[in-house]
Structure 1
Amino acid sequence: MSNPSIVLKEKGKIVLENRPVPDLTDERSVKIAVKKTGICGSDVHYYLHGNCGTFVVKAPMVLGHESSGVIAEVGRLVTNVKVGDKVAIEPGVPSRYSEEYKNGRYNLCPDMAFAATPPYDGTLARYYIMPEDFVYKLPDHVSLEEGALVEPLSVAVHAAKRAGIKYNSNVAVFGAGPVGLLTAGAARALGAANVLVVDIFDTKLELAKNIGATHTYNSLKKGNFDEEIIKLIGDRPDIVLEASGADIAMNNGLNLLKTGGVFVQIGMGKDDVKLPVAQMTQREIDYRGSSRYSQGDYNDAVTMIANGKIDVKQLITHRFKFKDAKTAYDNIIQNGKDVVKTIIDGPEDELAKL
């Protein structure tokens, strides 16, 4: 057998190479034949800059972490999946001994082994090994493409839970990238009455209406920002979720938020952003971070897709064959404003001879 893999050799250089087929050595792990993988912004950062935040690529690394596939082999003690099952892959495994894991907030584990985050290889390969409790069986009617989108949807689900969204909440989401769009969908699925999405691209705002937004607003529009939005949703939002990482969006969101409201930061902004701290204190703004996903988020994301609460397929704007993975990354860099979510197929049969 061969294991074709998409490898970032160094900043700016992606190649297709054959890696060893991973052995299934743990009795509670599974081998997955990866079939669909979405491209995340972090992968693009590694490609362009050789780093993403504090994570620096120091050795060749297989890319990809938004993946689904089919179980190819199971360890002797595996019980929750069997060979042939379609699964979504949760790509980060914490230390089973950390306090964060024991407390149910394993996403904060300092020893997290996360796919395509140095020094760990990612999922853009023919085969990938995971513990059985970090794969999630997909219902028959849920496609493998939808399965690949469980990962970014889980980010959105986690952020919505961090915000405390409940029935009749008034919510504003800043940023209509994949995570922002899915956050709007998750907010609506969890019972929010109004979900406003703010962005600068009308095409993405139109898509937001199909994913879960009840209202949209182009922030390039002239006029009083707060007044225009209050007019749309009837009041200031009691929850703001910021998914762009842009300084101006953070400040606009905080200014717009109702006194005593909750602000959740999802987008990775700069470390030295200037925020209205005195105003936040006086108005008792609850400012919360949101990192990836944790206990129950993947299950909830699969259920939302399976029950038709969120049509994640609408986010897919581009599809590429495995052998054209580099072209897929280059297309995002060159035509980013036209790309929402790119899906790369698993290795084609003709690559088996590599």
Structure 2
Amino acid sequence: MPLTKNVAAVLHGKNDLRLEERPIPKPKSNEALLQMECIGICGSDVHFWVHGSIGTYIVEKPMIIGHEASGIVIEVGSEVKHLKKGDRVAIEPGVPCRICNFCKEGNYNVCNDMIFCACPPCDGNLVRYYCQAADFLYKLPDHVSLEEGALLEPFSVAVHACKKGGVTADSVVLIMGAGPVGLCTVIATRAYGATKIIVVDLVEFRLQQALSFGADYILKINPTDSEREIIKRILEVLGEEPNISIDCTGLESCVRICMLAAKKKGVMVEVGMGKPEMNLPLFEAQCKEVDIRSCFRYCNDYPTALALVSSGKANIKPLITHHYRLEDSVQAFQVSKTGVGNAIKVMIHANPNWKP
């Protein structure tokens, strides 16, 4: 089957996303060329689109957007042994150097030379054809869909958070935020066997989704609620203090609540990425010896995430609420930005033969 035009969604700056034709890439010896299939829109993609930057990452030249993706192998390089044409794969979007001490120690997510999709200046994979290092491609079992393959990216973030937090069968978990990553974290903590899970958010629909994904309790709050009142209500609902609190929002108020609500000797995991500097209650956290742990992307978590999905222990497909073609990417981004129609995860389909 002949290849079609390589259409890409290219971000030129704030609120300037364009569809452009790019050359079809050729795979290097350790790469595979993919027909891209499913690409989910992440909050970071929307943030780059709206603001043109995230922290120190600034869009200074046109950049293909997108990093939550799956595809089908079209061609493999000469060194690739574990994949062949026609294989369906999930794409881990970050490729480290593999030779620095961080990589050798197994902490490649903090490699200083990481090439990460749609993190300036690197192009992403919201494009019809894309090349990726083959060792960061994961073959999908026949019963796992390409949509689920794309969802492995946000789900791997949640798996990483569970590993960092040490979630086990005796865990009582507080999750701040019921956005896509927060809901993934609900699914992951349930799969890891947490005893109690409470999710806090402003939006009733998302909280109801959290219940459907396995939360035991939900708590709807208002922007005007005081910090201490929210914490009091969390503890009343749970009947005890959480020994693991996970913030999936990046908001200073939520980070503070996670630190203050945590049990003595508990763990607080920061997943959300907010403003660079915050006013936090370190004195109270220190007096309780709360173990504050940062969480950045994922590291050796894709195989775990895939195993949980493949085994049926984690059902992530209902996260997808909206579907769009690659040609309708701007509309898809607008829906993801506004949340209209109770959008959770908006999925873009790059294959021109895709049918709803």
Common topology (TM > 0.5): yes
1:13 pairs with 3, 11, 16, which one? 16
Identity of aligned residues (%): 41
Counterpart for residue 45 of structure 1: 47
- Following TM superposition, by how much is the alpha carbon of 1:114 offset from its aligned partner in structure 2, in angstroms? 0.2
Structure-2 residue corresponding to 1:107: 109
Report what 1:307 is aligned to. 311
Question: Where does residue 262 of structure 1 map in the other structure?
Answer: 267
Equivalence map 1:144-293=2 (5 Å): 144-220=146-222, 224-293=229-298
Residue identity in the other structure for 1:286: D
Cα distance in structure 2, aligned partners of 1:51 and 1:203: 29
Displacement of 1:49 after TM fit? 1.1
Deviations 1:107-146 (A, max 9, x none): 0011100001111111011111111110001110111111
Partner of 1:78: 80
Query: What does 1:118-133 align with in structure 2 at a 5 Å threshold?
Result: 118-133=120-135
Displacement of 1:271: 2.0
* Correspondences of 1:90-101 after superposition (within 5 Å): 90-101=92-103
C-alpha distance after superposition, 1:194-246 (max 9, x if no partner): 11111111100110112221211112397943343233323100000000111
Question: 1-side partners of 2:341 and 2:279: how far apart?
Answer: 27
Q: Work out which of the residue numbers 48, 63, 66 in structure 2 matches 1:61.
A: 63
Q: How far off is 1:349 after superposition?
A: 4.9
Which amino acid is the alignment partner of residue 27 of structure 2? Answer: L
* One-letter amino acid of the counterpart of residue 182, structure 1: C
Cα distance in 2, alignment partners of residues 231 and 96 from structure 1: 48
AA in 1 matched with 2:276:
D
In 1, Cα distance between equivalents of 2:183 and 2:236: 22
RMSD: 1.7
Could you tell me which residue of structure 1 aligns to residue 34 of structure 2? 32
TM-score, normalised to structure 2, is: 0.94
Q: Which moved more, 1:239-248 or 1:268-277?
A: 268-277
CA–CA distance in 2 between the matches of 1:347 and 1:16? 15
SS for the counterpart of 2:60 is coil
The Cα of 1:79 is off from its aligned counterpart by 1.7
Contact kept? 1:212, 1:310, Cα under 8 Å: no
2:177 maps to a residue whose letter is G
Which is worse superposed, 3-12 or 152-161?
Answer: 3-12
1:7–1:14: 8 Å Cα contact kept in structure 2? yes
Instruction: Tell me the residue number matched to 2:344.
Output: 340
Counterpart-to-counterpart distance in 1, 2:349 and 2:41: 11
Q: Distance in 2 between matches of 1:333 and 1:280?
A: 34
Q: 2:331 matched to 1:324?
A: no
The unaligned stretches of length 5 or more in structure 1 are none
Counterpart Cα distance in 1 of 2:199 and 2:236: 14
The one-letter code matched in structure 2 to 1:259 is K
| Higher deviation after alignment, 160-169 or 211-220 | 211-220
Q: 1:21-48 CA distances to partner (integer Å, 9 max, x unpaired)?
A: 001122x211111100000111111111
Work out whether residues 4 and 347 of structure 1, in 8 Å CA contact, stay in contact via their aligned partners in 2: no
